[in-house]
Chains A and B, each alone.
Chain A
Amino acid sequence: MRLTLMFLSVALLLLSSWIGLTAGRIEPECRNIIYMHVPSSIAALVCFCVLLAASVGYLATSRVSWDRVAAAAAEVGLIFATLLNVTGSIFSRAEWNVWWTPSPRLVTAAVLWFLYVVYAILRISLGGDRGLRARVCAVFGIIAFFDVPMVIISARFMPDIHRAGFSFDSAWQTAAFLPALASMLLLAAVLIWLKADLLAARDMLEKEI
């Protein structure tokens, strides 16, 4: 099942690339990176929403399975946040001739990345006590979530070099974008699922030893 979904995700990404490189091509060429950049940023934000939900779930029920989902979502979110910042940096270099500039959207995206990294550090350094680690991480997940609305609204309400939204010129471009978005979200979901199961297996192993 998971393998099938993973293949489906890769197939969708290939389909998107194929349309994006032929009929759905955006001029100038460097702008084609939005087929990676925008879906990965949406996936990073969705992972943060999953992290919030799992954190609330853990604090409300104290069930370890919620903690595992939170850990998995944060780890996958870190991957997508890294992808978002790397592709964004390349895009920024091509478009504005700088690797990074302190515009609202770029600042908040960097803060997003830092929050994911700190979440990972928190998990590593509080390894000793399971209950404590789960509680601290859940609280951090909720408090840190307040940055997410900032990322979304920052480019809309503040004067920014980064565009607020985007619109496509042709239906082909939309056709290239939607499979990429579906692919990234699918990949994020499968990875979270996989990681949560992996953590569950590890817990079970520890219990038997």
Chain B
Amino acid sequence: MKHFLSGFNAVFLKDLIAELRAKQVLPSMLVLGLLIMWILRLASSTSSIDLAVTGPAALWISILFSGLLAQERSFSVEKENGCLEALLLAPVDAGTVYLAKVAVNLVMLCVFEIVIVPAAILMFRLEVSDWPVLVAVLMLGNLAISGVGTLFSALVCGAGARGAVLSVVVLAVLMPVMVPAVFALMVVFGAVPAALVGTGALAFVGSLGSALGYMVAFDAVFIAACWLLFGIAVRD
């Protein structure tokens, strides 16, 4: 455990300090996220559109795409000068490297959201019914996005056209978890009247509680599977 923590800390701090000093990706994440939301806000400015419905979707779209920037960087920087080989040669379990990278991407997404979520609330005139639930939904979403994105970023970092491949793969794998995620945010922002919860299209997730349950289950499965597969997938 002590060994795990020291290895985890070393990789985690290295990446975080590198990001703080070079500011490689956070500024572009923020600008991309704001641009996406601004464009969607402009597109939904007719009176017939309910902003509480488009707001959560816009928020997740900007989180997903900006998150991809962070994940793509987390292993492409290691590829230069053969850092990845050195990192894997170090007496640290490959799974630990993976978890540290996930933690860095998680921190980046959280910092990003500190700016982007209030911006979304202002732009889309959203009203938050329950702050702790909002934070929980966002954190569960972040965990799924970072977990899957980091694994595939490590896998495709050797390929050409990695950005295109990474985005398609990550979005496809995350689809099942994005459905309850969007639904949960819609409930938090009051877009779903209580009478309609659990009917029609929304039957997919039922209530807010079951949506959160889905996300917890998916996070657990994704993180566990990605953690196990990472060591096998990058071994040579």
List chain A positions with a Cβ less than 8 A from chain B: 59, 101-104, 107-108, 111, 114-115, 117-118, 121-122, 125-126, 128-129, 131-132, 135-136, 138-140, 142-144, 146-147, 150, 154, 158-160
Interface assignment of B168: CB less than 8 Å from any CB of chain A: yes
Please, could you name 27 A-B residue pairs with CB atoms under 8 Å apart, sorted by A?
A103-B204, A108-B176, A114-B172, A118-B172, A121-B165, A122-B165, A122-B168, A126-B156, A128-B159, A129-B158, A131-B236, A135-B233, A136-B155, A136-B159, A138-B233, A139-B152, A139-B233, A140-B169, A142-B229, A143-B148, A143-B222, A143-B229, A146-B176, A146-B218, A146-B225, A158-B204, A160-B203
Determine whether the beta carbon of A143 is less than 8 Å from that of B165.
Answer: no
Determine whether the beta carbon of A107 is less than 8 Å from that of B165.
Answer: no
The residues in B between 189 and 230 inclusive whose CB is less than 8 angstroms from any CB of A are: 198-201, 203-204, 206, 218, 221-222, 225-226, 229
The residues in B between 133 and 157 inclusive whose CB is less than 8 angstroms from any CB of A are: 148, 151-152, 155-156
By DSSP majority rule, is chain A's interface helix, strand, loop, or mixed?
helix
Determine whether the beta carbon of A143 is less than 8 Å from that of B204.
Answer: no
Nearest A residue (CB) for B178 = A111
Determine whether the beta carbon of A103 is less than 8 Å from that of B173.
Answer: no
Nearest B residue (CB) for A132 = B158
Determine whether the beta carbon of A59 is less than 8 Å from that of B176.
Answer: no
Interface assignment of B27: CB less than 8 Å from any CB of chain A: no
CB distance from B31 to the nearest CB of A (A): 27
CB-contact partner of A104 in B151, B199, B204, B218, under 8 A: B204
Residue numbers in A under 8 Å from B225 (CB-CB): 142-143, 146
Determine whether the beta carbon of B206 is less than 8 Å from that of A144.
Answer: no
Interface assignment of B82: CB less than 8 Å from any CB of chain A: no
Nearest B residue (CB) for A114 = B172
Residue numbers in B under 8 Å from A128 (CB-CB): 159-160
CB distance from B77 to the nearest CB of A (A): 19
Query: What is the size category of the interface that chain B forms with chain A?
Result: 20 to 34
CB-contact partner of A59 in B156, B198, B232, under 8 A: B232
By DSSP majority rule, is chain B's interface helix, strand, loop, or mixed?
helix
Determine whether the beta carbon of A102 is less than 8 Å from that of B233.
Answer: no
Residue numbers in A under 8 Å from B49 (CB-CB): none
CB-contact partner of A103 in B156, B158, B198, B203, under 8 A: B203
Residue numbers in A under 8 Å from B158 (CB-CB): 129, 132
Q: How far is the CA of A114 from the CA of B179 in the complex (A)?
A: 15
Interface assignment of B18: CB less than 8 Å from any CB of chain A: no
Determine whether the beta carbon of A158 is less than 8 Å from that of B160.
Answer: no
Interface assignment of B43: CB less than 8 Å from any CB of chain A: no
Determine whether the beta carbon of B232 is less than 8 Å from that of A126.
Answer: no
Residue numbers in A under 8 Å from B203 (CB-CB): 103-104, 158-160
CB distance from B158 to the nearest CB of A (A): 6
Residue numbers in B under 8 Å from A131 (CB-CB): 236
Determine whether the beta carbon of B206 is less than 8 Å from that of A158.
Answer: yes
CB distance from A31 to the nearest CB of B (A): 23
Given A101-B201, A104-B204: A136 in contact with B229 (beta carbons within 8 A): no
Nearest A residue (CB) for B202 = A102
Q: How far is the CA of A180 from the CA of B179 in the complex (A)?
A: 34
User: Which of B156, B175, B221 has the most CB atoms of chain A within a 10 A radius of its CB?
Assistant: B175
Q: How far is the CA of A198 from the CA of B206 in the complex (A)?
A: 46
CB-contact partner of B221 in A107, A144, A146, under 8 A: A146
